[in-house]
Structure 1
Amino acid sequence: MYADAQRAPTSPRLPGRLPLTAVLLWLCALAASAAPWLMTLDPLAVVSVFWSYDGSNYTSVLAHFSWAPRVSIALLIGCGLGLAGAVTQQVLSNPLASPTTLGVEAGGQFGVTVATLFAPALLAFSQDLVAVAGGLLAIGMVIALTWRLGFSPVTVILAGLVITFFMGALNMGFMLLKGEWLGNLFIWGAGSLVQNSWQPFMDLWPRILVLGAALILLMRPLQLLQLGQASASSLGARVGLLRALALVLVVLMSATVVSRVGVVAFVGLAAPVLARLLGARTLKQRLLWSTLLGGGLLLLADTLAHWASTWGDGSLVPTGTTTALIGGPIILLALQGFKNTHHMPGQDANPGAFLPKRRSPLIIGSVLLVLLLATFLVSMGWSPGLQQWSWTPVADWSEAWVWRGPRLLAAILAGVCLGLAGCLIQRMTGNVMASPELLGISGGAALVMVLIVLTGTEIGRVGQLAAATLGAAGALGLLILLARRHRFAGNQLLLGGLALYVFMDSGLRLVMASGGTVAAKLLNWMYGATWLVSETEALGLLALTLVICAGLLATLRPLTLLALGDTSASSLGLPVGRARLGLLLLAAVLTAAATVVIGPLSFVGLIAPHLARVLGQQTVGRQMLVSALAGGLLLALADYLARTLIFPSQLPAGLLAALVGGIYFLWGLSRHGRG
């Protein structure tokens, strides 16, 4: 008995559902992919097309050079990304880390876009090289920003998401300016596994195999990271070097895939998460089953994309769209069991904050009002013409108002709404890095607009605005269901917003691949093209904003008490759950009102409350007032610059705001981490 007690513990048993699910996934994916070919070829011929074909049978030739390499490359890439995702999660001790959420795939696409425009010779030399450079840039930024916080899960995900937003905005800016050169590039970037020969597979498999073997060789050293950095170092592991080496291999794997087939989103996240949910406990189990599940998931997603393209009007449905739609629910399942949403063990949960000197809200508000008025006057009067810049006389402003007034008024009001919504959310969650854009509410409105355009439904501008509002409300409802069990805690809301972003991203990629003038108009709206706004819409937004502002007085007490903590707020008579729900509803209405005007990807909701804090406004009421004025001023400037910078062409105002806001977010995150 004593000997039995001293026996070394065995590794956790592998649940039977894990291999069963993997086998069923592969069988279903292979059967669904082969089903159309079984109608014209016998089963043995379908299997044999992977290595030979019947030259007298056109169907056999087509299957050999089109279907078989597509299945093979889907399995190869899926396995590679699944393995890369599992290694990333082990290195960062973060169950939501992946090449996608860390911005690696967006960085790879950014590298290819920049090389296409400015250094096409590099693409001729090696398309992998530029993609790897972009991926290294993205993950390097994430590591630099989150190093001081010990790779806190929420901080890493937020940094990676914002870098993805930022690089996506840069890519979209290039597309809007150089669309005639980059149109096909963005069809590729949406993620397509369509093949017409075996050459891409033959080029790719040695790279995937070598990189996969290198990642597997790191398995034993990576196991030491489970003990913590101090313990691993005491056992002789060079933790920093190990992490850097593993992440470089992950970037090489992901960027190589991106350079060949575009962004097949979230396989590297969905496969390891699914392996954990099905019972993979040890690192060896996670690496093995994440690899196998990744292959099955990507083949299933690619089959669904092929079916959708065939059953539709013939338009290409990117594989990146279907992988995002499959990955989204898996992320939602993972979030329900993700407990440590604030910080890693041993890390300070509340880094020191910058507290500037208090200043009079009357003085600050007056200065912002003067600046806003000056911006309004300059925007209405000083503009470029066909030959030179000129001042429009005040007597002619009634004519100029038709072209400049509604968009300017709508931009100011959208900035006010986002400033107020951002202040509400940051106060409610206690997270100064939160913003309406990161909660997925804007994404819900955008996704409905995508569906309307893709289905060809003609409902007019008013109908589109109403549908976008319903989409925001639907996203809010889903967000409430996600966060209700956590009493609407701040970081759970942010991670729920990440899951909603997955669905919005799939819609965006579908639009980019569909092309056409309608898609171009929709993309312009998504990045805040204020020239689409009519006078009626601007006045309607004005009325809605005034009504909401009148009701904000009721939020001052709840927001003040929530800052004391749930226990103290409850003891003072505040129903915490219901208060957070009411504040979230109000923030959602403000966000939806702004989204239908300025698009979903602006960061004004983040910047405006920060500016109010920097300007010395600490109390709730003062910060809300200054946030509203600052938001209006920011978007008024963005609208004016968007109209004049590249005249006679125009940029979407929301795109400029997103670029500036992304830079500000990353700067603020690095400052936040200094403690």
Structure 2
Amino acid sequence: MSVDATLPAPGQPETSPRLPIAVALLWLAAITASALPWLDQLLPSQLVSAFWSFDGDQYASVLAHFSWAPRVSMAVLIGCALGLAGAVTQQVLGNPLASPTTLGVEAGGQFGVTLATLFAPGLLAFSPDLAAVAGGLLAIGLVVLLTWRLGFSPVSVILAGLVVTFFLGAINMAFLLLKGEWLGNLFIWGAGSLIQNNWTPFFDLLPRVVVIAALLLALLRPLQLLQLGQASANSLGAKVSLLRAAALFLVVIMSSVVVSRVGVVAFVGLAAPVLARLLGARTLTERLLWSTLAGGGLLLLADTLAHWATTWDGGSLVPTGTTTALIGGPIILLALQGFRNTHHMPGQEASPAAFLPRRRSPVAVAGVLCSLLAVTITLSMGWSPGLEGWNWTPLVQWTEAWVWRGPRLMAAILAGMALGMAGTLIQRMTGNPMGSPELLGISGGAGLVMVVLVLTGLDIGRPGQLAAATAGAAGALGLLLLLARKHHFAGNQLLLGGLALYVFMDAGLRLVMASGGTVASRLLNWMYGSTWLIPESEAFALLALVVGLGTLLLLTLRPLTLLPLGDTPASSLGLPVARARLLLLVLAAVLTAASTVVIGPLSFVGLIAPHLARVLGQQTVGRQLMVAALAGGLLLSLADYLARILVYPNQLPAGLLAALVGGLYFLWGLSRHGRG
């Protein structure tokens, strides 16, 4: 007896008619918007015939046949492919937020193409698919390895996927900064562009997509059994592990083949299935069908908007990846409102004893950290490579060396201290040990404002930038706390919502990267924490700000001690909870903005420093704040020194090096969770 887990029960209402109507309207809007600029040059019938023929005596007809028609066809083909891949991924993992983007597959594909471009260009000449598929398999392999012990817990899978995406993206940016003369065009392509000048790419991709889609659809019946649960599916003869592996392998191939040809068009594979579910697709067959169709319509509309924006911006390229990335943030936030997950965040469900190391004297711990910081400062100021090899700068010459090494070192230390204190504030305020300015999107909010300032060309000086970044950081944190109220500030929603904000910042960065030029280079350096851009005046201004805010934090010790008890107990003990939360929010936002303006938005120091303070036995609020500040300063000062000497005479941004180490730390912490 066959079992179809997706058949509606007797009496269950049929699929809502709004689903086909909405998808039809989406397609109508996309096609109309795409065709509109051409209707003053060609008749509708001529525009339709441009898909298979052209009039050689009419330039508009030739242009439509070789440029517009293949671009529309490519958008539809890729959108349908990613929509189907996303729907299959969600079914395999039982996760409504899963997609090739959130699992890191698309970032992995770009990583593979980057490595092949640098070290094996002959492989790309043979087949760009191989490099992209290898990178995609690496990314999803990391995600599976990290979340295997958790039974593919939905939140853990998405967090692992997004951090793998950040991690591989940071490596890509390191290569770009070091080898920009070879990789500049690659990263403009990587921002996602569907521009075509003939039909060859479309007909090259079409058979690949059709074959992979046919193989995915061949798994339809076995995939239906997964809805019964692993035990029931096994009892009915389904080999669940093998089925999941096969389906995910096909998803990786589908996504990587797309990435290898047009770059990263992010979040179509997430948006299309979520849209199909929201509009009423119930059975697996319906979800696969309508996700595929919705994906084609969404990408065509996004590509048309990108084309319009390019035209309005005087021909400056607006990548399709920018407009599709702008879809991703709202989709994640929308999906979160109805998202439930029984798993706690890493670190929350373990017994307290496992996360309470032996208490140590704060004086001894602070003394050790200060000694290590002094050693790092001495090395950074005195021992470095030069034109004649490594040499030691005598103490009497440190005055001259200060001009080149001092301000950046001072700024790195102070930014690390600010992030350490901000991370402690956030973890205490939210009760979430995985919270940090980076992962809660606070750095992303500040970074997004900075991207907007660069795009608009506004020159408001460093004080203005700090004020704007603070507003962006406070707005991001306020929005997340507002969205998470209905979930009682659960760590799941806070973290995923924060990561969603990074999508918007990523969209802005892709836009600037595609424009090229000195503005893109300057913004890219800042985004990944180039401390060599810091003047002495700015370093001393940061010193005054951090010292002032650090003193003000003494007033927060009691609120930070009481808030983790819950709103009602804290209020009964005389704490004005609303005002305390607002004060902490503003302090965390200003500390984050000050460090973000200096070191960029993604370093993970705000996550690592409070953890190190706890590991070193500092459990009370005051002690943790002090030790986290010292640990943050030590981490970023060491990152700044290593970034200066590792690839001398080239330099890496200190924030980029910290992000690589911090990403590894986060992934290690995620994999460690769940071990008995």
TM > 0.5 fold call = yes
Counterpart of 1:596, as a letter, is: V
**For the Cα contact (< 8 Å) 1:419–1:630, is it kept in 2?**
yes
Shift of 1:579: 4.7
1:598 pairs with 2:563: no
Cα 1:71/1:52, change in 2 over 3 Å: same
Return 274-283 or 26-35, whichever deviates more: 274-283
**SS of match in other structure, 1:13:** coil
What residue in structure 2 maps to residue 123 of structure 1?
A: 124
Shift of 1:465: 3.3
What residue in structure 1 maps to residue 674 of structure 2?
A: 673
Aligned pairs for 1:380-529 within 5 A: 380-529=381-530
Looking at structure 2, the residues matched to 13 and 349 of structure 1 have their Cα atoms a distance apart, in angstroms, of 41
Shift of 1:453: 2.0
Aligned pairs for 1:5-20 within 5 A: 9-10=10-11, 12-20=13-21
1:182 pairs with 2:183: yes
Shift of 1:563: 4.1
Deviations 1:596-634 (A, max 9, x none): 100011011111122222222233322222111111000
1:351 pairs with 2:344: no
Shift of 1:211: 1.3
Aligned pairs for 1:26-65 within 5 A: 26-65=27-66
Shift of 1:434: 2.5
Shift of 1:391: 2.3
Looking at structure 2, the residues matched to 201 and 79 of structure 1 have their Cα atoms a distance apart, in angstroms, of 14
1:653 pairs with 2:654: yes
1:246 pairs with 2:256: no
**SS of match in other structure, 1:315:** coil
Deviations 1:110-137 (A, max 9, x none): 0000011011111111110110110011
1:636 pairs with 2:637: yes
Cα 1:78/1:617, change in 2 over 3 Å: same
Shift of 1:349: 6.7
Looking at structure 2, the residues matched to 667 and 48 of structure 1 have their Cα atoms a distance apart, in angstroms, of 56
Shift of 1:666: 1.0
1:233 pairs with 2:234: yes
Counterpart of 1:649, as a letter, is: N
What residue in structure 1 maps to residue 155 of structure 2?
A: 154
**SS of match in other structure, 2:391:** strand
**For the Cα contact (< 8 Å) 2:418–2:546, is it kept in 1?**
yes
Looking at structure 1, the residues matched to 451 and 342 of structure 2 have their Cα atoms a distance apart, in angstroms, of 31
Looking at structure 1, the residues matched to 232 and 559 of structure 2 have their Cα atoms a distance apart, in angstroms, of 44
Identity of aligned residues (%): 78
Cα 1:220/1:564, change in 2 over 3 Å: farther
Counterpart of 1:670, as a letter, is: S
What residue in structure 1 maps to residue 3 of structure 2?
A: none
**SS of match in other structure, 2:439:** helix
Return 394-403 or 318-327, whichever deviates more: 394-403
Aligned residues: 667
Deviations 1:616-666 (A, max 9, x none): 223332222211111100000111111222222211000110111111111
Looking at structure 1, the residues matched to 66 and 469 of structure 2 have their Cα atoms a distance apart, in angstroms, of 43
Deviations 1:19-58 (A, max 9, x none): 1110000001001001111110011000000011111111
**For the Cα contact (< 8 Å) 1:18–1:275, is it kept in 2?**
yes
What residue in structure 1 maps to residue 377 of structure 2?
A: 376
Cα 1:580/1:465, change in 2 over 3 Å: closer
**SS of match in other structure, 1:97:** coil
Looking at structure 2, the residues matched to 80 and 10 of structure 1 have their Cα atoms a distance apart, in angstroms, of 34
Shift of 1:228: 2.0
Counterpart of 1:666, as a letter, is: L
Counterpart of 2:531, as a letter, is: T
Deviations 1:283-325 (A, max 9, x none): 2221111111111100000000000111112111000000111
Looking at structure 1, the residues matched to 496 and 274 of structure 2 have their Cα atoms a distance apart, in angstroms, of 15
Looking at structure 1, the residues matched to 13 and 555 of structure 2 have their Cα atoms a distance apart, in angstroms, of 54
Shift of 1:568: 5.6
Looking at structure 1, the residues matched to 461 and 33 of structure 2 have their Cα atoms a distance apart, in angstroms, of 39
Counterpart of 1:656, as a letter, is: L
What residue in structure 2 maps to residue 531 of structure 1?
A: 532
What residue in structure 1 maps to residue 626 of structure 2?
A: 625
Counterpart of 2:32, as a letter, is: A
What residue in structure 1 maps to residue 304 of structure 2?
A: 303
**For the Cα contact (< 8 Å) 1:433–1:669, is it kept in 2?**
no
Shift of 1:495: 1.6
Return 493-502 or 384-393, whichever deviates more: 384-393
Cα 1:37/1:494, change in 2 over 3 Å: same
1:607 pairs with 2:614: no
Structure 1 gap segments, 5+ residues each: 1-6
Shift of 1:97: 1.0
Shift of 1:562: 4.3
Looking at structure 1, the residues matched to 156 and 344 of structure 2 have their Cα atoms a distance apart, in angstroms, of 8
**For the Cα contact (< 8 Å) 1:154–1:341, is it kept in 2?**
no
Aligned pairs for 1:54-93 within 5 A: 54-93=55-94
Looking at structure 2, the residues matched to 211 and 572 of structure 1 have their Cα atoms a distance apart, in angstroms, of 62
What residue in structure 2 maps to residue 3 of structure 1?
A: none
Shift of 1:427: 2.8
**SS of match in other structure, 2:265:** coil
Looking at structure 2, the residues matched to 251 and 260 of structure 1 have their Cα atoms a distance apart, in angstroms, of 14
**SS of match in other structure, 2:484:** helix
Deviations 1:543-581 (A, max 9, x none): 221222223233333433444456765665656666555
**SS of match in other structure, 1:41:** coil
Cα 1:564/1:674, change in 2 over 3 Å: farther
Looking at structure 2, the residues matched to 450 and 563 of structure 1 have their Cα atoms a distance apart, in angstroms, of 35
Shift of 1:368: 0.2
**SS of match in other structure, 2:438:** helix
Structure 2 gap segments, 5+ residues each: 1-7
Shift of 1:252: 0.7
Give the RMSD, CA atoms, in angstroms.
2.1
Counterpart of 1:350, as a letter, is: E
Counterpart of 1:449, as a letter, is: M
Return 316-325 or 153-162, whichever deviates more: 153-162
Shift of 1:186: 0.3
Shift of 1:11: 5.0
Cα 1:306/1:586, change in 2 over 3 Å: same
Looking at structure 2, the residues matched to 174 and 436 of structure 1 have their Cα atoms a distance apart, in angstroms, of 26
**For the Cα contact (< 8 Å) 1:488–1:580, is it kept in 2?**
no
Return 468-477 or 109-118, whichever deviates more: 468-477
Looking at structure 2, the residues matched to 311 and 582 of structure 1 have their Cα atoms a distance apart, in angstroms, of 42
Cα 1:520/1:612, change in 2 over 3 Å: same
**For the Cα contact (< 8 Å) 2:347–2:673, is it kept in 1?**
no
1:103 pairs with 2:101: no
1:216 pairs with 2:233: no
**SS of match in other structure, 1:340:** coil
Shift of 1:265: 0.7
**For the Cα contact (< 8 Å) 1:153–1:343, is it kept in 2?**
no
**For the Cα contact (< 8 Å) 2:23–2:293, is it kept in 1?**
yes
Deviations 1:508-550 (A, max 9, x none): 1112211111210110000000111122221221122122222
Deviations 1:460-495 (A, max 9, x none): 344333333332233233323322333433222112
**For the Cα contact (< 8 Å) 1:142–1:159, is it kept in 2?**
yes
Looking at structure 2, the residues matched to 278 and 588 of structure 1 have their Cα atoms a distance apart, in angstroms, of 37
Deviations 1:130-185 (A, max 9, x none): 10110011011111111111222221111111111100000000000000000110
What residue in structure 1 maps to residue 284 of structure 2?
A: 283
Counterpart of 1:660, as a letter, is: V
Deviations 1:63-95 (A, max 9, x none): 001000000010010011011111111111111
Looking at structure 1, the residues matched to 167 and 674 of structure 2 have their Cα atoms a distance apart, in angstroms, of 20
**SS of match in other structure, 1:139:** helix
Shift of 1:343: 4.9
**For the Cα contact (< 8 Å) 1:342–1:349, is it kept in 2?**
no
Deviations 1:199-237 (A, max 9, x none): 111011111111112222222222222222222222222
Cα 1:150/1:633, change in 2 over 3 Å: same
Counterpart of 2:294, as a letter, is: L
Looking at structure 2, the residues matched to 36 and 225 of structure 1 have their Cα atoms a distance apart, in angstroms, of 46
